Chains A and B, each alone.
Chain A
């Protein structure tokens, strides 16, 4: 069979590889639509805002996204159906994209020569600022995964929808894009909560158990840290305590439709007055960071 000219052409991609070393498809780098945000990362700190506070706040929002994205990524090649592989990976990618911009902003505002990777890979547990819910493991139990994402996305959506007005242009931009993403995540999680809650006896039991696993981490979401309090006054942050009613209302609506019961377990108390926002974590975070950071730390000075 004589080779067709049309068939030869497509392999040009292969031949032209060395010419495209700068290839950096934005879909992969930041998720689509983050190009504009990238330009704003270098924007000056808004007047009257403490740079250290702003950096810390970006770490809080960024670490929540990074660590939760890590947990969702654990599902890759383990999802209950192929369609859900795609949905879960999309969610993990969205959160990773948010984390990258926020960590880049934190590094920029900090002004100590670090970048997103230095912050993600070279900080220790106590320097992470995420809430406990983000680091909660699920042992590949879909009921726990759905419960965690339901609560996390409902809460984060409430935060981000308020942060669209933030005086920090990067926080505002991440929020504007993130609201669309989180709406999608919450929709996905809520629909799965319905299917599991009102599906079979087993799925009902497991979805309820998932909620019970997640519940002790809910109170922490609504505790306002000192940094947040100061930044609320400066017009940069939003007060998480003020989102509680909205989050409760959404969750109650889902629980009712899904025949689930709102858990009554007590919240996990702080450690000497400190919790995730102050760097006091559960034992799980160390294991997350062990995996996340191992390769980067094994090759100091390497570029990838």
Chain B
């Protein structure tokens, strides 16, 4: 038995090393499976919880065009959550179970959605910074070693690029609008900048799982590498908007060919992922309410399907 496992493991390692994909029915180490389930579920939860801060503004969107864009975007997020839950399900868990783990706070979602969306500028900033950070995180996942996850991410990344563009376009419209609108944008960026940087996770020195995940081809870059890339890309975008990123230590370092930047408040990050984020309780309660309010509907559909199947079977027997 041990020999067999060794051979399987060697084949798994060779597949990953050759940058080929692991597929659902392949043998895989239990740790790999567990890590993937946790990561994909967390990702799926983030899409679903992420509908809430933006959903908060759909009914109040300030133009019909903006309303249509936001509705379509939030709808995409529901779709992304579905793709990701389906990818997780290929690993032998089911969506209902994952949802239970979310609303019982046994699984997490991205720390960013524990912050409230307080003005319409937040819709633009979520598109620009939050979706931008998500894209930095997600593009490498299109080459993740696990096939179903990688394929889900390809589909998601394609749609996400629209999300980010609409956000930036909204911000451009707002900074070219009234003084009050420009102030809204700056105020919003001030609130979201640091939480966006936290989306890449703790600093590399404090991220114990990174090395294993990279060896498994689940992760392609370290947290700090991705964070740096995000900062470097955001700086000229902020300049084009004429807004200031709220980091006094932010400056170009010609020697490194990259921007130096300040450190996010990691104590706040830890507190937020432990459940004390300003909108955490509200997000979970909302998701729980929707899930529980829908139970009778889901049961009814199942009961109806069962009745229909029985009727068809009955007809078949009679004939």
Which A residues contact B (CB, under 8 angstroms)? 1, 3-4, 6-7, 10-11, 13-15, 17-18, 20-21, 23, 25, 27-31, 66, 70, 73-74, 76-86, 89-90, 92-93, 96-97, 99-100, 103, 116-117, 120-121, 140, 142, 194-196, 198-200, 202-203, 206, 291-292, 294-296, 299, 301-304
Contacts and interface: CB of A to CB of B under 8 A. Distances in A.
Contacts of B64: 66, 96, 99-100, 103, 116-117, 120
Contacts of A199: 299-304
Contacts of A7: 139-140, 143, 220
Contact of B75 (A10, A81, A85): A85
18 contacts: A14-B237, A21-B168, A23-B166, A23-B169, A28-B166, A29-B65, A77-B74, A77-B290, A82-B82, A93-B75, A96-B64, A103-B64, A116-B64, A117-B63, A203-B296, A299-B178, A301-B178, A304-B174
B61 A295 contact: yes
Interface stretch (B7-15, B52-60, B187-195, B260-268): B52-60
Contacts, number: 208
Contact of B68 (A97, A203, A299, A303): A97
A198 B304 CA distance: 6
Contact of B62 (A13, A18, A195, A302): A302
Contact of A299 (B62, B172, B173, B297): B62
B300 A200 contact: yes
Contacts of A92: 71
B46 to A, nearest CB: 13
Interface of B: 48, 51-52, 55, 57-69, 71-75, 78-79, 81-82, 85, 95, 120, 128, 132, 135-136, 139-140, 142-143, 157, 161-162, 164-166, 168-170, 172-174, 176-178, 180-181, 214, 220-221, 229, 233, 237, 240, 286, 289-290, 293-305, 307
Given A80-B294, A117-B64, A299-B178, A89 B78 contact: yes
Contacts of A85: 51, 75, 78
A66 B165 CA distance: 26
Given A81-B298, A96-B67, 14 more contacts: A11-B229, A29-B68, A79-B290, A82-B81, A92-B71, A93-B71, A97-B68, A100-B64, A100-B68, A103-B64, A116-B64, A199-B301, A295-B62, A304-B66
B58 to A, nearest CB: 5
A270 B311 CA distance: 46
Contacts of B286: 77
A137 to B, nearest CB: 12
A196 B297 contact: yes
Contact of A302 (B135, B139, B181): B181
Contact of B221 (A3, A10, A79, A303): A3
A224 to B, nearest CB: 28
A103 B294 CA distance: 35
Contacts of A301: 178
A198 B296 contact: no
Contacts of B166: 23, 28
Contacts of B237: 14, 17-18
Contacts of A194: 304
Contacts of A10: 139, 142, 157
